[in-house]
Amino acid sequence: MEENSKFDKKSIRTVIGKTANFGELAKDCVAFANANGGVLHIGIENDADLPESSQTISGDLPEKIVKRINELTFNVAVRPEIVTAGNGGQYIKLQVFPSQVSIASTTKGQYLIRDHDKSRMLLPDELSRLISDKPSYNWETKVSLNVHRSKADEKKIRDFIVDVHSSDRVSDFVKEMSEEELLSYYQMTDDAGNLTNLGVLWLGKPEQRARLLYSPIVQYIKYDSEENKVDKKVWDDYRLNPKELIEAIWLSIPEWREYNEVSEGLWRKNIPAYDEKVVRELLCNAIVHRPYTTRGDIFIKLYPDHMAITNPGLLPIGVTVNNILQKTEKRNVHLAKVFYDLHLMEAEGSGFDLMYETLLTVGKNKPVVIEGEDYVEVSVARNITTKDASRLCDFVSNHYTISRKCFITLGIILQHKTISAIALTKELQLLQGERLRSWVDALLSNGIVVSRGTGKGVKYSIDPNFVAKSKVQFQTTLKTIEPYRLQALIKEDLRFHPDSLMSEIAKRLPDVEFPELERMTREMAKNGELKTSGGRRYRKYSLP
């Protein structure tokens, strides 16, 4: 098992002998506690999946570990267990519980958090955000209204149980539970049968939900081309639980069911102005990931050319607008589980993947995320920017088996026509260039995309042979021109326009990327294929 945000491995030498380093172990425990908890397997090396077959753990070691962690940390709770692996070797499974209310730290005053597979120090602004965010992480399971299950909305309870029983994402073990056990399993009731905040949100009556801080209120505002308000709807009567609210919003806004028509010869395709999957995922994210300890309404703003959904609160710690495609942190884990189990939203970490794929493969821009001082806004364009994308991606879907990652990459390449590996890595929000392989390999091996160059100079573009096979009228562009053809094009341009500045050449060849044009022109001058005159700033080029 690979190390991740909830799992880490430590050598047995971390806790025994002269190499014991309980300080580092304490830091990892603090990091897990400040996140969502986690598990450490002590006694398994980083490059191994099992302990040494001859390894045994002394009975007093778990107690020693707990004692040292307590001495070195504040607000950290752990539970050790000696486990015998399949090969007969033993290791310690150390469970670290999330710190629900207080901020965990080392006794040296170090504050850390788990980020992917590493434990890192919290920055000052992150620490202040964690302090203000902490109450929202246990909001779901708190009982604040003292409403017993018997006083909840019976219809909503019945509907919820029917939804659970009909879902293929729920195990048979859960479906066989009694009503009382099922509500407790989903953290909607406590041991005494009282509704938690999550229970009130999903199962409560309107007057109960209205007393809940802060039950979601949604406002829809439509603007004209001059940004004047032309329509408004508000869902603020607390009658609807989250599932019903999303359904009511979707059915109440007719503009979401309008279409853009893409045509090519006899081929016609109606592409939704706003795809239902994207709209529902955005609404789910707004309800599931908002901090329920923060006041503020959810706003749906519809403009002539785009839609924006604004949510109160900031992104969870560790998630930014520059890594939101690759990283996810759940703020309301139990609410997210209900949404996932009932097929209301995608699995953890795949919501933005779905939106990227859906938008890019029909020729639209990817969603734009903005984080303000106290809000997060996600915008989605109405119009299509790459008309070739839809038919080409339809052809790929019908004739090839590739992953969602590859469809996202294909959509980005179609938008740019040609794109460097560095730029593609940035578009995909990848941290390490080598991880690009899983996003492009299937496209290359299937002949959908071709690469040119080596190392950091690699560029990707659509394979001309693939376009010919698909019979799509793909728009021709000079961005994908071969180097020797670009050289001939530059010479032909200078034959008619001698003594030209670089800016003048670029103006006459607008489809050629300027860095590539500049690089090629200078290389030709260096090799004697072109002659130059003037200084560096006002250098002119001519044929020799």
356 and 278, same domain (yes or no) = yes
272 and 343, same domain (yes or no) = yes
Final residue before a domain boundary, out of 338, 360, 381: 381
343 and 226, same domain (yes or no) = yes
Give the closest residue to 330 by CA, choosing from 37, 8, 1, 31. 37
469 and 498, same domain (yes or no) = no
187 and 205, same domain (yes or no) = yes
268 and 367, same domain (yes or no) = yes
Task: Count how many residues are written for the chain.
Answer: 544
493 and 463, same domain (yes or no) = no
Asked whether 305 and 279 are in contact (CB, 8 A), the reply is: no
473 and 485, same domain (yes or no) = no
347 and 259, same domain (yes or no) = yes
Q: Is the residue at 116 inside a domain?
A: yes
CA angle 154, 157, 158 (to 5 degrees): 90
Domain count within the chain: 5
Q: Is the residue at 193 inside a domain?
A: yes
For residue 260, give both structure tokens.
Answer: 């853009």
Final residue before a domain boundary, out of 381, 398, 430: 381
Q: Is the residue at 140 inside a domain?
A: no
Q: Is the residue at 515 inside a domain?
A: yes
Q: Is the residue at 319 inside a domain?
A: yes
322 and 191, same domain (yes or no) = no
Asked whether 543 and 491 are in contact (CB, 8 A), the reply is: yes
Final residue before a domain boundary, out of 381, 398, 413: 381
Q: Is the residue at 317 inside a domain?
A: yes
Distance CA 274, CA 259 (A): 8
Q: Is the residue at 158 inside a domain?
A: yes
Q: Is the residue at 142 inside a domain?
A: no
Q: Domain range for residue 520?
A: 481-542
117 and 102, same domain (yes or no) = yes
State how far the alpha carbon of 439 is from the alpha carbons of 36, 402, 413, 456, in Å: 29, 10, 12, 16
Q: In this structure, what CATH number is given to the domain that contains residue 495?
A: 1.10.10.10
Place of tokens 């940035």: 426
Distance CA 238, CA 245 (A): 9
Q: In a structure prediction context, what are the per-residue pLDDT tens digits for the chain, which is 544 residues long? A: 778 888 999 999 999 988 899 999 999 999 999 988 999 999 999 889 999 999 999 999 999 999 999 999 999 999 999 999 999 999 999 999 988 778 999 999 999 998 878 899 998 888 888 887 777 778 899 998 999 999 999 999 999 999 999 999 999 999 999 999 999 999 999 999 999 999 999 999 999 999 998 899 999 999 999 999 999 999 999 999 999 999 999 999 999 989 888 776 666 778 899 999 999 999 999 999 888 888 899 999 999 999 999 999 888 887 889 888 887 777 888 999 999 999 998 766 578 899 999 999 999 999 999 999 889 999 999 999 888 888 889 899 999 999 999 999 999 999 988 898 889 999 999 876 557 888 999 999 999 999 988 777 788 988 888 888 888 776 666 666 778 788 888 888 898 899 999 999 988 888 888 888 888 899 899 999 999 998 877 899 999 8
196 and 102, same domain (yes or no) = no
> Beta 218-223 vs 7-10: how paired, if at all?
unpaired
For residue 201, give both structure tokens.
Answer: 């949100």
Element spanning 356, H or E: helix 351-360
Cis amide leading into 214 (omega within 30): yes
